[in-house]
Amino acid sequence: MSAVSSQCPEIGGHVVAKFGGTSVANFDAMNNSADIVLANKAVRVVVLSASAGITNLLVALAAGCDADKRADYLKQIHSIQYAIIDRLHESDTIRQEIDRLLENIKTLAKAASLATSAALTDELVSHGELMSTRLFTELLRQRGKDAEWFDIRKVMYTDESFGRAEPNYEQLQSLATEHLLPQLKNSLIVTQGFIGREENGRTTTLGRGGSDYTAALLGEALGLKRVDIWTDVPGIYTTDPRVVPAAQRIDKIAFDEAAEMATFGAKILHPATLFPAIRCGIPVFVGSSKNPQAGGTLVCDTTEAPPQFRAIALRQKQTLLTLHSLKMLHAQGFLAEIFTILSRHNISVDLITTSEVNVALTLDTTGSTSTNGSLLTNALMTELSTLCRVEVEEDLALVAIIGNQLSQTNGLGKKVFSVLEKFNLRMISHGASNHNLCLLVQGKDAEQIVQTLHQRLFE
């Protein structure tokens, strides 16, 4: 692991706490989260997701729908947020603020029913975080805490990749030092995860799960001592406990192992979350807002005696492209052309295998706010078809075995594949990293494969 970068600000004594959608889903959940904030004086920055269910409703509105559906979605959003407002004291001011945001949503949703766009989607979807942070700030104030609401778009400048925007770290560090750092001494800052703005002022989003990324970026920019991620499970497990009830919690895990888990589908952390933490060596703690006493997982630089097998990650909704062309045979530049086309369409490749005249590669359809899984546009397929014959397979899943020194382990194949005889393994990728062995399988078999592997490797 690389040493702490000399570019990083000096690590201070403050903590940034991020709360996910289930942690601010309703009044009681918000109150639990407020308990955590009030119990730890080191917490000076709070980053929130939208209340659970709100983002999905906003994405549905952004996709464009008829008047009846629109009215139904708007009613559901109103109901979720007003169930919180109705339990606050003296709620006239916050009521007016939420009503203004709800009216914005209504106007934007009507515009989306006429014509959708990625920029409009981001503007609409951002309202989930704008509402949750207003409500949480008011709740903290009513509990006697000097809390300040802060619009993250003042500091979180990004590029124009709506739905999956990339922050400009240099600008963030400069603006956060100017606008946020002075306030930390006197008050608690409550701000939004997931959203930012491009240079012309239009709202952007960082992709699904981007609130974790926001928290880590702020931790890095402000030189804080730790990033706390509060979610609905007490830590990171050897696999998803909903798939394998016997999954075991990992109390301490190294950055590189956790990064592999996040990249290959473990939903506890957004894949990009760990980059800022790694750059500055800031530990990340993952715990449950429902049960903070249960402990959690600490993600840090290194761990003692890391095990051969650490975890199994699962990512559904994978697409496999198989590209066939005789031009590949003893030719140079074919792959470069393919990757140039994919790059032009903002598509990143996960796994790749090649033969004499075929290239097989997997695409991840999760993550973006605005694509809704439709990566394979007509324009992309037309462009690829000029170079090769394209076959598409969907409804696949990626199972990743995460561990240490896997590419140098004797007998690994026997240990893994001997228990998977009855399953069709569509693609295998191994050797590029010491930390993973990846299997592309049929989506319908994925959970059973994870259960089988977990029993063999961990139980």
What is the DSSP track for 86-123? Answer: TTSSS-HHHHHHHHHHHHHHHHHHHHHHH---HHHHHH
Confidence check: pLDDT of 52 > 60? yes
- Answer whether 341's CB lies under 8 Å from 380's CB: yes
Instruction: Please check if 129 is assigned to a binding site.
Output: yes
Name which of 61-70, 115-124, 152-161, 325-334 the model is least confident about. 325-334
Q: Which two tokens stand for residue 165?
A: 């925007």
| Mean pLDDT in residue range 370-397 | 83
Instruction: Please check if 213 is assigned to a binding site.
Output: no
pTM, full prediction = 0.85
Supply the pLDDT for residue 185.
82
Could you count the other beta carbons within 10 Å of the beta carbon of residue 419?
15
Task: State the Cα–Cα distance between residues 181 and 296, nearest whole angstrom.
Answer: 28
Instruction: Please check if 344 is assigned to a binding site.
Output: no
Report the chain's mean pLDDT, rounded to a whole number. Answer: 90
Q: Is the CATH number 1.10.10.10 carried by domain 15-231? A: no
Instruction: Please check if 237 is assigned to a binding site.
Output: yes
- Tell me 230's DSSP state: E
pLDDT digits (tens, 9 = 90+) for 183-229: 888 899 999 999 999 999 999 999 877 899 999 999 999 999 999 99
Instruction: Please check if 327 is assigned to a binding site.
Output: no
Supply the pLDDT for residue 275.
85
Portion of the chain with pLDDT greater than 70, in percent: 94
DSSP three-state, residue 163: coil
| Mean pLDDT in residue range 174-187 | 91
Q: Which CATH superfamily is domain 310-458 in?
A: VC0802-like (3.30.2130.10)
DSSP three-state, residue 158: strand
Confidence check: pLDDT of 281 > 80? yes
Element (H, E) at 428: strand 425-430
Task: State the Cα–Cα distance between residues 162 and 202, nearest whole angstrom.
Answer: 9
- Tell me 35's DSSP state: H
CA 211 remoteness from chain centre: 7
Instruction: Please check if 133 is assigned to a binding site.
Output: no
56 burial type by CB count under 10 A (0-12 exposed, 13-18 middle, 19+ buried): middle
Instruction: Please check if 20 is assigned to a binding site.
Output: yes
Confidence check: pLDDT of 296 > 90? yes
Task: State the Cα–Cα distance between residues 135 and 130, nearest whole angstrom.
Answer: 9
pLDDT digits (tens, 9 = 90+) for 81-127: 999 999 999 889 999 999 999 999 999 999 999 999 999 999 999 99
Confidence check: pLDDT of 46 > 80? yes
Task: State the Cα–Cα distance between residues 59 and 155, nearest whole angstrom.
Answer: 25
What are the extents of the domains in the chain? 15-231, 310-458
